[in-house]
Amino acid sequence: MAHQSNAPGWPLRKVFDVAERAVAARVEPLVQTGGFATAISRYVAINRRVGRVLSKVTGGVLHLVNIPTTNDVAQLHEHLNVVNKQLSQLTRELGRVPASRQEDPQRLGTNIRTTPKPVDAQPSKED
Amino acid sequence: MLDSARTVLDKAKRDVARTSLQARNGIKHVAGINRMQVAQTPKEVVWERRKSQLWRYKSEKITEPVPIVIVYSLISRSYMFDLYPGHSFVEHLRNMGYDVYLLDWGVPDQTDAANDLEMYAEEHLPAALRAAQEASGSDSVFVVGYCFGGTLSLLSMAAADLAEVKGLILMATPVDYHKLGLFTEILGPQARMNPSDLVDGTGNVPASASRDFFNVLKPTTKVAASVTFLERMWDDDYVKGYQAMGQWTRDHIPFPGAAFRQTVRMLFRSNSLVNNTLFLSGRRIDTGRVCVPVLIVVAEKDHIVPMESALPAADLVGSKDIEIASLPFGHVGLVMGRAAAKQTIPTILDWMRRHTVTSASEEN
């Protein structure tokens, strides 16, 4: 990590570099150990649990006065995401169907719209 | 005697000048004035789907027949490839006559929590490559995958028949997920951490988590960089670089929850790329299907993706034309800064030119 410079620099720079190298040489291998990984994992897990408890409590208070919480919004998003995912899967599967079969929607066993797109539909950004 | 007096005087003059520059730049830095603007190379969006966009960097002197598509990772900002003028990977490639594209995945939010690897590797990436091919009018493209972007490129090419890819360049790309040091210890087969513990209320892994994990790998780097900055604050160019780099290292983005859970389950726990047991959309993905020429670029001082994690890519692909370039940089230095301009880019350009010439002569 030490910076090599031909500029005059600070008189204490060499001292800092020596100290930094010494610390880095000891700390860097330490963070790669299983013990450190376990410590970090436990810290994250505890943090997460505390967060859940806190959000449950604040959520309960907000529900008392009929205000939706971030969890409610997150759940709605989750539902939308599931629908989105299913659409993506369908798109992918359609993409794999040979062009000759795509010409005959009845053979695919799915209800593919053949009428024009409604005028009030949002224009697609997809190409 | 007179000479040494002059030397002392010159040194004093230089020190005074530097001190005043240091004060000026220090005030500017603290006040946030004249910050270096990143991602300045002019570009246009040629394709988009959801938040993914394919950018084409504008150029009036395209001389190379095969365009380049850069595929970036999912966890940080893609402007690392276009830091600032004179220090921009894409600007260098563009100046060498290439038509350069970059696939940016956007910044995920709650609506993207269900984005999975299938969406990126089987939908967006192939569509973006086709869009690049159409926009350039070329028969084929070179794909440059960096870090996790390389993994996605590999998955994409193994999953779909991408006839438009002429060659694949994997830069600092992890394939052996059991050789990723701290990440393997935490997310690997020992299952020390439950991936759901990292996912926040939006359903994604927050940007701060990625940033903290990267910072902890080199705990003294930040302090050393700050000391160097204080020392070289008189140097305008250094200050620009420090600010741009500092911005990028702080500027991570959330990792979509579904893709993260898949990455942990399939790559970190089962190491399924190396074991050839990876499934996408219920189908087994065989990287042996990747038969185009492959260049594997590894960074010898990479503390994020060590060489032993990246090199097995050579054994996984089915290509008979594989080259490995080992460069004496770190993970970021491979694409940023002067070293990238002097070594990484010439290495890539040389490989691409040889493979463009080879295929041109084969066609004749």
Each residue's pLDDT tens digit, B163-190: 789 999 999 999 999 999 999 999 999 9
* Same domain as A90, residue A44: no
Q: What is the ipTM of this complex?
A: 0.79
What range defines the domain where residue A61 resides?
8-67
Calpha distance B125→B153 (Å, rounded): 7
Q: Looking up tokens 């993409």, which residue turns up?
A: A95
C-alpha distances in Å from residue B242, one per residue of A105, B75, B212, B341: 58, 21, 19, 17
Partner residue facing A44 (CB), from B47, B198, B219: B198
Q: Which of residues 35-74 of A touch B (CB under 8 A)?
A: 36-38, 40-41, 44-45, 47-48, 55, 70-71, 73-74
* Same domain as A55, residue A102: no
A33 domain-assigned = yes
Predicted local confidence at residue A89, as pLDDT: 80
Partner residue facing A1 (CB), from B119, B202, B221: B221
Sort strands B165-171 and B294-299 into parallel, antiparallel or unpaired.
Answer: parallel
Domain count, chain A: 2
* Same domain as A13, residue A61: yes
CATH of the domain at B191: 3.40.50.1820
Predicted local confidence at residue B41, as pLDDT: 94
* Same domain as A53, residue A19: yes
Average pLDDT of chain B? 91
* Same domain as A63, residue A86: no
Which pLDDT tens digit goes with each residue over B205-252?
999 999 999 999 988 888 998 888 888 888 888 888 888 888 888 889
A120 domain-assigned = no
pTM, full prediction:
0.84
C-alpha distances in Å from residue B291, one per residue of B147, B287, B319: 20, 9, 4
Report the SS3 class of residue B71. Answer: strand
Residues of B in contact with A8 (CB under 8 A): 11, 15
The answer to whether A102 contacts chain B (CB < 8 Å) is no
Calpha distance A40→A44 (Å, rounded): 6
* Same domain as A75, residue A59: no
Measured at the CA of B336, the angle between CA B296 and CA A20, to 5 degrees, comes to 105
